Amino acid sequence: MSTLMEEPNVLGRRVKAERARRGWSLARLADASGVSRAMISKVERGQSSPTAALLGKLSAALELSMTEMLSPEDGPAPGQVRRAADIPDWTDPGTGYLRRQISGPGFPADVTEIVLPAGARVPMPAASYAFIAQLVWVLDGRLSLVEGAAAHVLTAGDTFELGMPQAREFVNDGTGECRYLVVVTRKATA
């Protein structure tokens, strides 16, 4: 596998470039994301690897899916085989949550494989769902999708289309890893 963090500071450069493209200061991104200026600066300089929760806050503030935040700018041309060894991945240093970017940057939907270790809990802020539609399809294991007081338990073959934006937590309360696909499309804007 091609780890996104193998090349020095790919994610940090992406955050900084997206902030600059918008003309935002560190303070503005900090206010929009709820992440401290110091932490954003550390991420941009490659001095800290963000957790999935922190990455979710930054991607929500920048209105980019996590896939867009983590994907390299270039990818395979349509009609070419993308070898397993060339598929970029990213691992949350806090939970071991693994994301593999299945679709390339030019594909009209983000398709991502997730491997969630037993016992892992990954919270995502409501704002990260404000501009996307998302479908979860469990391939192996057990996934609890917690939305407020409701918990939706999914097992192999089950799907769930996320509804209105709200804070969610992806929980593997099983004894083995859970593997699922996430398909994301951008919602039409008015």
Say yes or no: 88 and 182 in one domain.
yes
Burial class (CB in 10 A: 0-12, 13-18, 19+), 188: exposed
pLDDT at 76: 64
Say yes or no: 59 and 128 in one domain.
no
Three-state secondary structure call for residue 129:
helix
In this structure, what DSSP letter does residue 127 have?
A: G
Q: Taking the chain (190 residues) in consecutive chunks of 10 residues, what is each chunk's mean pLDDT? A: 52 88 94 93 88 87 82 68 84 92 85 96 87 93 94 97 92 96 81
Quickly tell me which residue has 């996590």 as its tokens: 66
104 neighbors 76 (Cβ within 8 angstroms): yes
What's the one-letter identity of residue 120?
Answer: A
Rounded to 5 degrees, what are φ and ψ at 134? -135, 135
pLDDT at 129: 81
Say yes or no: 103 and 51 in one domain.
no
> Is the residue at 38 inside a domain?
yes
Say yes or no: 110 and 181 in one domain.
yes
Structural domain that includes position 44: 2-70
> Is the residue at 79 inside a domain?
no
pLDDT at 6: 43
Q: How many domains does the chain have?
A: 2
CA distances from 7 to 2, 11, 123 (A): 9, 9, 27
This prediction has a pTM of 0.81
